[in-house]
Copies of this chain bind each other. A is one copy, B any other.
């Protein structure tokens, strides 16, 4: 199988995802939040480009009060009139179970929308990286990881998460006797993943957006985003929305 990592959103326009599995990563915080929402039992997450599109989705939804919630952020801050922000800690079963979330974030939802052209697509964060590796291996397809980045540019934490994913997919493929061909970007991400996997706390210093969130008093969010493989939930794309996926079996081994 061939593995590629789009290290920044500047590369999304040139990607050919036809026939491939796609994985969207926005560690701080959109995909960590989607994983948390799906693990908490939300019905589905509809990614939309902006707040106006979110409100239009709500008007068109035709559901009773509270069934559909508006969620997201701009520049890290909550959006006026929205029900939920972009902290994974807000997405408790009490708030989201059975509900449809309409989500818009500065970087993450654009990456989610870019993944729609793939044959299959899932949402990854550090919290579910092992489960997503198993999901990718089960697809039996070439795969591309889309790093949401920050304002169109590369972000370190997304590349690290992509790299840990590449490492776990490669290890799992090796155990199954399957060969993996890594693009240069996938090889680079894997190198970054190997460097940071045992010291994720170093991202608090090295990643620009982690420093920004820390200054904004978001230390609890950062801790939630930097937890490694704590859930087996793999949110998957279904007809343009993201739905809780099957919990992937750990089987007898890793990843």
Chain A residues proximal to chain B, CB less than 8 Å: 7-8, 10-11, 14, 150, 152-156, 159, 183-185, 187-188, 191-192, 195, 206-209
Q: Which residues of B contact A152 (CB under 8 A)?
A: 14
Indicate if the CB atoms of B7 and A14 lie closer than 8 Å: no
- Given the interface pairs A195-B191, A195-B195, the reply to whether A153 lies near B10 with Cβ below 8 Å is no
Cβ contacts A to B, 7 pairs, < 8 Å: A7-B8, A8-B10, A10-B11, A153-B183, A156-B187, A156-B188, A184-B209
A7 vs B14: C-alpha distance in the bound complex, in angstroms?
Answer: 15
Each complex incorporates copies of this chain amounting to 2
Q: Which residues of B contact A192 (CB under 8 A)?
A: 188, 191-192
Which residue from B184, B188, B208 sits with its C-beta under 8 Å from A184? Answer: B208
Top 7 closest A-B pairs, CB basis? A10-B10, A156-B184, A154-B185, A10-B11, A187-B206, A184-B208, A191-B195
A154 vs B186: C-alpha distance in the bound complex, in angstroms?
Answer: 10
Min C-beta distance of A44 to chain B, whole Å: 32
Which residue from B184, B191, B207 sits with its C-beta under 8 Å from A154? Answer: B184
Indicate if the CB atoms of A188 and B208 lie closer than 8 Å: no
Q: Which residues of B contact A156 (CB under 8 A)?
A: 184-185, 187-188
Instruction: Look across to chain B and name the residue whose beta carbon is closest to the beta carbon of A207.
Output: B184
Q: Which residues of B contact A195 (CB under 8 A)?
A: 191, 195
A245 vs B78: C-alpha distance in the bound complex, in angstroms?
Answer: 52
Q: Which residues of B contact A159 (CB under 8 A)?
A: 188
Q: Which residues of B contact A7 (CB under 8 A)?
A: 7-8, 154
Q: Which residues of B contact A154 (CB under 8 A)?
A: 7, 11, 183-185, 188
A153 vs B150: C-alpha distance in the bound complex, in angstroms?
Answer: 18
